[in-house]
Each structure stands twice: as structure tokens, then as C-alpha cells.
Structure 1
């Protein structure tokens, strides 16, 4: 099992602010709130108008589904046309936590949250501020309220892991609950259970090995060949990208790029200290020592990319990480960030 996120240590939010945020959601407005993964931009999941406001604020394609967040004790069966035994096993093992399950959507649920598909993504976050908000909103809906919430950033950009990141994206137009930095730092694992077998659509803190131990079978891994997979949040080829051009390459292929830099075009280098050598102190190179631990790397990734966007560098060069199961989630995010710039090479 993965270590539990540490969001219980998050700053306390005034209960009155929680109620104000729940009232805004109840009125069809949007609220940004912390989860243990990243900050979400939330709206009433059963209101097509509220969900449309999420898409408009983010600039998100209308066919790209969002995830419905439920409070602890919320009933996922209310949202599902079918609730497989595997879903309950994963809920018992990982909820509340950074795991999203895709199941068949109940007809009572508007298709706006699923991009027109017959499935829906459900998750119960572990962050105490998220739980308080979700519980307050659900209480206003007779115990069956859910909040649709993709990451609180412009579509395709780096996800936010602090309240300030959200304010940087949207200014004062969005009400933000500040629950401190996100502990996991990357989006939830997404497992599809809508087709009779488990399939990993997006890697995250809950690993394929964790899922296999609970289900007794390994989920299918994303390899680009699963043509029947439902569309899911954060699975486009280019995503999670900074505004500064980014290249992701093995270190020996980064060195020619470092050598070719010009004096008036400083670059950022993100690599393991053991590989950086003299490049770590080379003029015009802003060196960042990459964490050696996958969970620590994930926790710092988006904060680092946002900081480098403000660092006045011409390019971000990142050392490619080991192709092992431990690194699958960080590799996924870095690969999608780099893909946003591949056509420009």
C-alpha cells in the first residue's frame, strides 16, 4: 500500500468559509479547493450549467470528462448504473485517497461530467478541507451531492498544488479555500472498471502493484493500444505543460543541448546530482537537483515547473527517469509536458 498522504496537517479553514463555499456551489458557482493530489476547480456535478462553467473557466474541451468528488460516507452507487465487486474492494482499500474509479454512469447523472460518455469517474479525497466542503455541500443535497472538479488551472497547463497557484491562474474571479500545499502533488490514479476488467488509464500515487494486491489481478497498463478505453481526465498526449519550452531526454542527449546554449539564453537543468557533474555549476545553467525518490519527485514536480516558468530561462531540460513501475506516474506527467513542445523541435 502507498503511504497515506499527510493532509491531516493542513492549515485549519474557518468553518464559516467552508459553509460559504458550499453555498456558492449550491448556487451553481465555482469554488477552488485543496485535495491531497492537486487543487480542484469545483462545481455542482448534477448541474450541467455549473459543469459548463468549469469548462469555460479552464478553456477545457467539452468532450474531456471531469471527476466527481464525494465526501466520506457518500454513496458511489447513487452515481453508478453498476457497481462491480472490484470497485468496492478498491474503495475499501484506498478511499478516502488519491484513486479515481470509472464505472458505468447512472441515467440520473447528466452526461456533462463524462464528456457525453456512458461512464463516470468517482473519487473521495483524503484532504480534510476537501472532505469538509464535500460534506457541507452534500448535506445541502440530501446527502447525495457531488462536486465535479478537474485541476484548478487553465487547460493543459501545470496543475496547481497551492492556493497561490490557483490565484496565479484565475486572479480574484474564483473563490479559493486554502488548505496548504498538496501532499501527493500529482493527480489521482484512474482505474477503469466499466468494461469488466481493471485498466489503468492514468498512473498516480496508488500504483499498479497496489491495485493488483487488492484485486488479485494486475490492471491493464496504458500502452496506446486500448481503443475501447473511455476518455479520462489528464490522458491527452500533451498536458501538464509549463509555458517555457521543455525537453525530456536521457542525460547523454541533454549534454549537447547544454553545450549548444548561448550566453544570452540561460537554461534550467533538472537532473540527478550524480549525473549533473560540471553542468551543475556551469555559467548560464540553473541547476535543480532532482529528487531520487518517486513520491518526493511527484510532490515537488508542479511547484518546480511553475517556479522555472518564472525563472527567466529559455528552456527547461529534464533528465529522463528510469522506466520502472515506481516511476510510472512521474514519467507520465513529464512525458505529457514534453509532448506539448515536441512539434516545435
Structure 2
């Protein structure tokens, strides 16, 4: 019998599709759902008969390695108590989106999952100690996932080729569904990228929409310092921060990117291509930082999006930055929360030395958490 097909042509249709899909899934049904990548088939992992039925529909005979789909990253804490910082970083920068994250589940976390769902089903979620999560960038599906208690698994609806649209789903699969939510063609028509993360290392388990070079950027921990013209304070702070991190991690400053640590600087009103002042170079060099290759550049949206944390030299810098880019408010702070760091431009080198020492002390306070 053909399934109920629910279109999402308008907000009213979408609300009905969400309500109907949630009801069917809660009662143990199988629902075809849209994602930004491909169409998928969903079932509740708390419903073993539904999972067995899904395996038959997809003709799955080997370990399925069910991927838990969530509406937001915070839901992963229901299954993994201590998410690796790199995994959390990639999630924060790429979710919702076409990246699935695979991490190790401890014996305690595996036991907890077996209390939530039957051990036989839990054994199909955790593969050799690994568990995989995905947060799709499709508003209707995310709303459905948010309304469902407990974990939900999804698997691609296609067979030989990914199902980028409802019409791409084989007829014999469509006929076995209870409900099919039709939200039109998927954005990418290609599978998500699966990234395995362990400690501070990552590898692509399944290539997909997001290329390796993009994953590399998502994995980086990017620290950005902001001043006005980027010839004194911000480049000094970035140089000193890089030196401080390298020294405390037992690395050469040039090796920081290999360990996914990137320190950048930018100016709110910077002209591109100017060197750091001679006094800034001298004061930074005395603390082990080399600014000779530094060239100024203006703040860009790309840099701010990549940043994990942004430190401004003054409160007014933060205010201006947030006026222009309000989306970065939750990760932007004055480097010194007590008082502004004044611009030394035009001063003698002695003042730059005082500034360098102050910056080093503030950086040690701010960045000490990275070492742990």
C-alpha cells in the first residue's frame, strides 16, 4: 500500500507534516524524510520492530552502524558525557549541516545506551566502540527530530544512487513506508561526509559533500585578536600568543597549525599589507615572537566565522565589531576584562615593552584552558 505523502508547500503543510511524522514515528512507523543531502528513512531506535522493518526495507544484512540524528548538538550529551573538544568544535562550526561526527563511546556510555534501547539495537548503533551523530540542515526534519523523545536513526532512501528527490526513491521502498514527507529536491543530492574524531586527530571515514580541506579548517582552533589598524596591539598579541602556546606545548611556533591551533589578528580599520611598527617588532622579539613577516589586514566575515574566540583590545572595539557582525557576540571578549589596552602608536619602545609584558600576562590567563 502506498504511503501517505505529505508536501511542504506552505507553513500549514509543514506543520501538518511534522505532526503526522512525529505521530507515526512515535507509534513505531517508518517515515521518509528530506535532508539537505539526500532523502532518508527514519525509525525510532527505541522501537526494535521498526528497526527490524527498516533493515528489511533496505535489505541490510551486515552491521548497519545506525547514525543517531539530532536536532541540535546539545542532544549528543545524552549519549556522550565528555565530547572530545575537536569533535565539539567541528559540530559547532558545521551543524546543522552535511557532516556526521563519529566518536568513541566508553563502556559506561555503551551501558547507558543499552538501558535506553535494547542491547541488540545498541550493538547496531555502536560499531567497534564508535558512535556516529548527524544534525541535518533541513528545518522540517529538524523540527520532527526535536519533537521525538529518545534516539532516532536515519539511513539513505536510495539504493544504487543517492535519492536527491522523492522521485529518486525506488518504488518498492516507497511502497513500504508509512509516511513520506516531500520537501522538494535536496540541496546537495550527495551523501554527508562522515568524520571520525579521536583526541586531537580526525579522519574522513566516508567522503561526501564537505571536502577534506574544509574539514581541516573546521577542526582548527582559531584564536583572533582585533585592534584598530593592526600594526601594534593585535599583531603583538597574536605573535606573543603563538609563542606562549608553542612554548607551553613543547612545540615550535611553526608547528602549531599541525596541531590544529591557529592564531590570527585583524584590524577594524586596517589598510591591507602594512608591516608591524618597528617598536612592536622589537618588544615582541624580546618575548620570543617574530613579527617581521606580519602584514596588516582588515576584519573579514570568513575570519570571524572561522574563529573559536575573538579578543579585542578595547571594549569599544568589541562594540563596533558586534554592531557590524552581531552573530559573533557569544565568542567575542575584551582581552582585558578590567580595562582597555591603549594604542601605543607613536610612543617610545619602552611603552611597547610594557605593553608586551601586559599582553603576555593576559594571554596566559585567557589561553591556559587550551593547555588542558
TM-score, normalized by length of structure 1? 0.54
> For residues 128 and 30 of structure 2, what CA distance do their matches in structure 1 show?
23
> For residues 18 and 218 of structure 1, what CA distance do their matches in structure 2 show?
44
Give the structure 2 partner of residue 118 of structure 1: 129
Is 1:197 aligned to residue 208 of structure 2? no
CA offsets, 1:306-326, max 9 Å, x none?
A: xxxxxxxxxxxxxxxxxxxxx
RMSD over aligned CA atoms reads 2.3
Q: Equivalent residues in 2 for 1:195-344 (5 A)?
A: 197-216=201-220
Give the structure 1 partner of residue 174 of structure 2: 171
Give the structure 2 partner of residue 67 of structure 1: 67
Give the structure 2 partner of residue 149 of structure 1: 154
Is 1:161 aligned to residue 161 of structure 2? no
1:37–1:183: 8 Å Cα contact kept in structure 2? Answer: yes
- Alpha-carbon offset, residue 109 of structure 1: 2.2
Give the structure 2 partner of residue 181 of structure 1: 185
> For residues 208 and 84 of structure 1, what CA distance do their matches in structure 2 show?
20
> For residues 186 and 126 of structure 2, what CA distance do their matches in structure 1 show?
27
User: Could you list the runs of 5+ residues in structure 1 that have no partner in the other structure?
Assistant: 1-9, 220-345
CA offsets, 1:227-279, max 9 Å, x none?
A: xxxxxxxxxxxxxxxxxxxxxxxxxxxxxxxxxxxxxxxxxxxxxxxxxxxxx
CA offsets, 1:174-208, max 9 Å, x none?
A: 11000110011111110001476201111122221
2:73–2:91: 8 Å Cα contact kept in structure 1? Answer: no
Report the structure number with the largest CA radius of gyration: 2
Give the secondary structure class of the aligned counterpart of 1:71.
coil
Give the structure 1 partner of residue 39 of structure 2: 39
> For residues 196 and 78 of structure 1, what CA distance do their matches in structure 2 show?
22
> For residues 11 and 183 of structure 1, what CA distance do their matches in structure 2 show?
16
Give the secondary structure class of the aligned counterpart of 1:121.
strand
Give the secondary structure class of the aligned counterpart of 2:155.
coil
> For residues 51 and 94 of structure 2, what CA distance do their matches in structure 1 show?
26
Number of equivalenced pairs: 202
- Alpha-carbon offset, residue 51 of structure 1: 2.3
**CA 1:191–1:146: 2 relative to 1, 3 Å:** same
**CA 1:197–1:67: 2 relative to 1, 3 Å:** same
- Identify which range, 174-183 or 71-80, moves more after superposition: 71-80
> For residues 145 and 170 of structure 2, what CA distance do their matches in structure 1 show?
21
> For residues 164 and 172 of structure 2, what CA distance do their matches in structure 1 show?
12
1:71–1:124: 8 Å Cα contact kept in structure 2? Answer: yes
**CA 1:73–1:212: 2 relative to 1, 3 Å:** closer
**CA 1:190–1:135: 2 relative to 1, 3 Å:** same
> For residues 131 and 87 of structure 2, what CA distance do their matches in structure 1 show?
13
> For residues 188 and 128 of structure 1, what CA distance do their matches in structure 2 show?
17
Give the structure 2 partner of residue 256 of structure 1: none
User: Could you list the runs of 5+ residues in structure 2 that have no partner in the other structure?
Assistant: 1-7, 115-121, 221-256, 260-372
**CA 1:162–1:182: 2 relative to 1, 3 Å:** same
- Alpha-carbon offset, residue 86 of structure 1: 0.5
Give the secondary structure class of the aligned counterpart of 1:201.
strand
Q: 1 or 2, which has the higher helix percentage?
A: 2
> For residues 117 and 23 of structure 1, what CA distance do their matches in structure 2 show?
33
2:58–2:173: 8 Å Cα contact kept in structure 1? Answer: no
